[in-house]
Structure 1
Amino acid sequence: MTWEILSIIGTVAFAISGAIVAMEEEYDILGVYILGIVTAFGGGAIRNLLIGVPVSALWDQGMLFHIALFAMTVIYLFPQKMLPHWQRWGNFFDALGLSAFAIQGALYAAKMGHPLSAVIVAAVLTGSGGGIIRDLLAGRKPLVLRAEIYAVWAILAGLAVGIGAAHSPIRLYILFMIVAALRILSYTYNWKLPNKSLKAKAS
């Protein structure tokens, strides 16, 4: 049950996130649906490739496709005045999707008996892969590569699952809330990782 709930949360959150980005970029309705679907399922496809699951397994998720389409339709039909802060909503749903899919990806790899390193990689790819594809298709610098802390929270989720710190449903839900909250805090307060620029500073 935990697996299904996390999958639904991640799918809805990333589908809405993709749809919002598409509307920000003024894509037509087909572009909204395509970007939302790619965001919702792109990370899972990349993960499946790397941990040995056939990509065709995605087509067994018919219910999730229907849920994603419904979520995107609802957000598309919302009156514009009801969503005045697009960026804030986009970041919020992206945080939920990152958390849910990072945990789901880690659980997937752990269930297959992969080592801790693979569990963490699966968490990162599932949590951020769809968002990377979304941003590239929207002509944006991928969120995971920006100064704000992003992939670190997916690593945290993968580590918690991989070492067995989050194995029961209640602990997984707590981990979901912690990771989502940390991502929200990181963009709200502009937390950054250290970076080094090779660009010459203007004198």
Structure 2
Amino acid sequence: MTWEVLNIIGTMAFAISGAIVAMEERYDIFGVYLLGYVTAFGGGAFRNLLVGLPISDIWAQGTLFTVAFITMTIMFFIPFHWLMTWNRWGAFFDAIGLASFAVQGGLLALAAGYSLSAVIVAGVLTGCGGGIIRDLLAGRKPMVLHQEIYAMWAVLGAFIVGLGVIDTQTEIYILLAAIVTMRILSIIRKWELPSRLNWLELIRSKNK
């Protein structure tokens, strides 16, 4: 039950995220569906490659394809200015997708008996893979490469899953909510990972 709920939540959230990016880039309805689908299912394809599952398993998710299609259709016909009343809607839904699929990917690898490092990689690829494809198709720098904290929240979620301390559905949903909250806080408060540029600027400021 938890697995299917995570699947549905992640699929809907990433389908919405992809659709919003496509509409921001003024793509037509085909572009909306394309970006929505690759965002929702691209991470799963990466994960299947990693853990040795057939990529063709993705095509067996007929219900999820229907859920994504309905979600993107609704998004396309909603007046776009309603979405833009808060300019972080795209990031919000992306955060939900990131958290859901990071936890789901981690659980899959854990159930398959993989090591902690493999669980983390599976969670990160599942959570970030679709967003990477979406941003590349939209001509944007993938969020995973930004200074702002993005993939690290997927790492943290998958790490906690890999430790095996998550035993109940309630604990999974608490972890999910925590990842979404931390991702949104990192956007609002502009938390960033250190970069070489910041390091050089710090050295220059101390030398003045």
TM-score (normalizing by structure 1): 0.95
1:190: how far off?
Answer: 0.6
> Equivalent residue for 1:108?
108
My pick for the range that moved more, 140-149 or 78-87, is: 78-87
My pick for the range that moved more, 165-174 or 31-40, is: 165-174
Equivalents in 2 of 1:81, 1:183: separation in Å? 24
| Structure 1 residue matching 2:53: 3-state secondary structure | coil
Contact kept, 8 Å, 1:24 with 1:86, in 2: the verdict is: no
> Equivalent residue for 1:97?
97
Equivalents in 2 of 1:85, 1:128: separation in Å? 26
Structure 2 residue 58 is the aligned partner of structure 1 residue 58: yes
Equivalents in 1 of 2:142, 2:80: separation in Å? 26
Equivalents in 2 of 1:81, 1:187: separation in Å? 21
| Structure 1 residue matching 2:164: 3-state secondary structure | coil
> Equivalent residue for 1:135?
135
Unaligned runs of 5+ in 1: none
Structure 1 residue ranges (4+ consecutive) displaced by more than 4 angstroms after TM superposition: none
Aligned length: 200
Aligned AA for 2:58? L
> Among the aligned pairs, what percent are the same residue?
60
Structure 2 residue 76 is the aligned partner of structure 1 residue 76: yes
Deviation track 1:134-162 (CA, whole Å, cap 9, x = no partner) reads: 00000000001101100110011111111
| Structure 2 residue matching 1:190: 3-state secondary structure | coil
5 Å matches for 1:170-189? 170-189=170-189
| Structure 2 residue matching 1:27: 3-state secondary structure | coil
Q: CA RMSD in A?
A: 1.4
Question: For residues 87 and 128 of structure 1, do their structure 2 counterparts lie closer, same or farther at Cα, with a shift above 3 Å needed?
Answer: farther
1:118: how far off?
Answer: 0.4
Question: For residues 45 and 86 of structure 1, do their structure 2 counterparts lie closer, same or farther at Cα, with a shift above 3 Å needed?
Answer: farther
| Structure 2 residue matching 1:197: 3-state secondary structure | helix
| Structure 2 residue matching 1:139: 3-state secondary structure | coil
Aligned AA for 2:163? I
Deviation track 1:18-38 (CA, whole Å, cap 9, x = no partner) reads: 000000001110000000000
> Equivalent residue for 2:206?
none
Structure 2 residue 17 is the aligned partner of structure 1 residue 17: yes
